Every structure is written in structure tokens, then in C-alpha cells.
Amino acid sequence: MGSDKPVNQDYPDLKALSKEGVKLLIFDLDGTLLDSMSVWNDVDVEFLGRYGYEVTPEYTDMVKRASIEDAARYTQTKYRIPLTWQEIVSTWESMVYEFYRSEVKLKEGTKEYLEEAKRLGFSLAVTTALSRKNAAAALMSTGIRDMFDCVITLEDLGGKINKSSPDIFLRVTDYVSATGNPVTPDKALVFDDVLQSLEGARSGGFLTCAVYDDIGCGGPGKWDSFAAGCDYSVLKF
């Protein structure tokens, strides 16, 4: 069993990675580069608060498991919100976009890590389940968009797969290779805070780095086993 106190297994030192022939670093956004995993809970608190309700554990558990459409239907019915479920979805999406446009922050040390990676000649990419609109807003508001060679979202793959498949990561290596910098998965390192995403990357032959997040992979006893299953791990950049 893991301990309550998280420990680092193997921090991905950039100079060492370069010497080992790693050429490409692929980053998730939510919970990896961005301190943003609480956004949906914050939206729930603010939205229900407008109508005099508080978020309960039961409500959070239900909406986490549901699609945004089903969550809106549930919310509209349970609390008799005077909006259609479509209007609730639109309201939520506007609130989330505003967060990524003007409020989201980078995790401590991430910008410096990215800057050092660029200085050392790594190619950098983003793979995210965020919508392209929200991803673009977050990258622009945090000032890191120009650091990346490409940004690939699940929307770009047609929305029919998720990050438990290696397809989104392979799309990155194809893109970077096509720009004249050939790279294979075994020379690319994927950073993510979600186990299923790193399992997807690993199934495609990529190196993997677990990134600590209280919500994404946090909790007593979870981090040690999560980190141990990856090639590298980051508690804090």
C-alpha cells in the first residue's frame, strides 16, 4: 500500500533526457500544466448558488459520471432550475470558458520547465481532452502557446476516442516528424496526471511521466503506485 505522503520516483531531468535521446515532450493541460481540475466543481457551486442550492457529495458524484447533457437534464429536474437543459449546458460552457480565458493559472514551475526544454532543443506538444476553444484560451491567457509545436485535442480526432488510446499521441509524432524532425514514440515522453491516459501512451510505445495532482491522481495511497508504474514522475516542476 502507498503512504499518505507522496514521494517522487524519478524526476525527468531535461539534460539527462536529452542525453538519452528523448526529442519530444508531450503535455496534458488540466491537472498537468494547469492548476484547473477544480473548475467544474467551482462552476457547480456558483451555478447552484445562484438558485439558492448547495452542492452535495451525491450531486458531485452523479454529474462526474454523466455527460454534460445528462448532467444538465438531471440538474434541471432535481432543482427545478428555470432554464431548459440546453440553456444550462450553454451557461456551464460559458462559465468554464471564462475561467480558461481569464482565471486559470499554471502549476508552479511549469513555465520555467517549458522554457528550459525549448532552450535545450526539445519539441513540445499538447494533447488534451479540453475543447479546442478552451485549450486555446488557456494557452493564450497563461502565455505559453508559442512554446508548442502543436496542440492536438480529442476534437481533432473526431471525438470518437479518448486518451486511453494511443491515437492522439501518435498524431503528435506524425505531425512533428512531418515538419522535418523525425521522432518515434520511444523517444517521446508523455506527461499526464490521469492513469488511463498514461496507459494509452504506454500502449503506443511512449515513455510516460506521472504528474501529481490532488484531484487527478491524488489521495492517500494512490500516488506511489501511480508513479511507480511510469518511467518518470513529477510532484512539482
**What is the bridge-based pairing of β-strands 207-211 and 232-234?**
parallel
Q: In this structure, are residues 211 and 193 in contact, taking their beta carbons and an 8 Å threshold?
A: yes
Residues 89, 174 share a domain: no
Judge whether 2 lies within some domain. no
Judge whether 150 lies within some domain. yes
Judge whether 3 lies within some domain. no
Residues 144, 94 share a domain: no
What pLDDT digit, counting tens, does each position of 198-219 carry?
999 999 999 999 999 987 776 5
Judge whether 154 lies within some domain. yes
18 phi and psi, to 5 degrees? -60, -45
Q: Indicate the pLDDT class of residue 129, thresholds 50, 70 and 90.
A: confident
CATH number at residue 46: 1.10.150.240
Judge whether 229 lies within some domain. yes
The rounded percent of the chain whose pLDDT value lies above 70 is 94
The domain containing residue 51 runs over which residues?
Answer: 39-102
125 phi and psi, to 5 degrees? -145, 160
Residues 216, 177 share a domain: yes
Residues 193, 125 share a domain: yes
Q: Indicate the pLDDT class of residue 3, thresholds 50, 70 and 90.
A: very low
Could you tell me the sign of the dihedral formed by the alpha carbons of 96, 217, 19, 112, in that order? positive
Residues 110, 96 share a domain: no
Residues 163, 56 share a domain: no
Q: What is the DSSP letter of 144?
A: -
What pLDDT digit, counting tens, does each position of 132-189 carry?
999 999 999 999 999 999 999 998 988 667 898 999 999 999 999 999 999 999 999 9
Q: In this structure, are residues 28 and 197 in contact, taking their beta carbons and an 8 Å threshold?
A: yes
Residues 166, 75 share a domain: no
